């Protein structure tokens, strides 16, 4: 395969030999943050299979750096049963622009206000079973305001030297997908 973005676009084009056509959808569960569907799909060889898919509104996060330190939030994640370090982020409200969500979450969780947000990367955390899509932005022109956490939200803000954050990603200590992709993208693009 040749190099360049055109080769990557070609690799992402629909391939009838790999395509799965949805034959039937059954809503299995509906929650406030996501829903679960069972999909019957027809495979390229004509056989059928079932897929379980989590539908989610998605989220947005912000890489905020000041004086060579990246702003992370420290919180307990019950799904993992442990503490995590993550960039400030949250779920997108229905019909809310992603950049608005990112700015809102940055301020709510940390009190930081960004003069401008620049899109760094887009990611799907687990495309094998969910359509959850996260947009990650880089904050420019930070000023400090007041945090206002959501009811039932408990976290601490920590400022980690960028080089330590990169070492923690490599060591698997920072392992949240949006945080890893955001910090690495900003570094790779020469923005940090």
For residue 47, give the 3-state DSSP assignment: coil
Catalytic one of 37, 151, 153, 163: 151
Q: From the CB of residue 118, how many other CB atoms can be counted at a distance below 10 Å?
A: 14
> Hunting for tokens 């679960």 — which residue is that?
36
Tell me the CA distances in angstroms from 126 to 2, 53, 96, 117, one per residue in order.
Answer: 28, 10, 22, 25
Q: Is 115 known to be catalytic?
A: no
Closest Cα to residue 109, out of 75, 83, 58?
75
Closest Cα to residue 131, out of 22, 17, 15, 42?
22
The set of catalytic residues is 151
């Amino acid at each position: 395969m040749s190099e360049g973005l055109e080769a990557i676009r070609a690799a992402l084009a629909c391939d009838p030999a790999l395509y799965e056509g949805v034959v039937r959808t059954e809503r299995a569960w509906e929650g406030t943050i996501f829903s679960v569907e069972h999909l019957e799909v027809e495979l390229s060889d004509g056989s059928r299979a079932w897929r379980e898919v989590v539908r989610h509104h998605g989220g947005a996060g912000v890489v905020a750096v000041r004086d060579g330190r990246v702003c992370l939030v420290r919180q307990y994640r019950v799904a993992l049963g442990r503490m995590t370090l993550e960039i400030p982020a949250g779920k997108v409200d229905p019909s809310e622009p992603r950049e608005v969500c990112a700015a809102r979450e940055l301020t709510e969780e940390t009190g930081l206000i960004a003069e401008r947000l620049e899109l760094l990367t887009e990611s799907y955390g687990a495309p094998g079973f969910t359509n959850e899509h996260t947009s990650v932005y880089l904050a420019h022109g930070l000023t400090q305001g007041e945090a206002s956490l959501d009811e039932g939200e408990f976290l601490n803000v920590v400022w980690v030297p960028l080089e330590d954050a990169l070492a923690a990603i490599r060591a698997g200590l920072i392992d949240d997908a949006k945080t890893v992709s955001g910090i690495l993208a900003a570094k790779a693009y020469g923005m940090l």
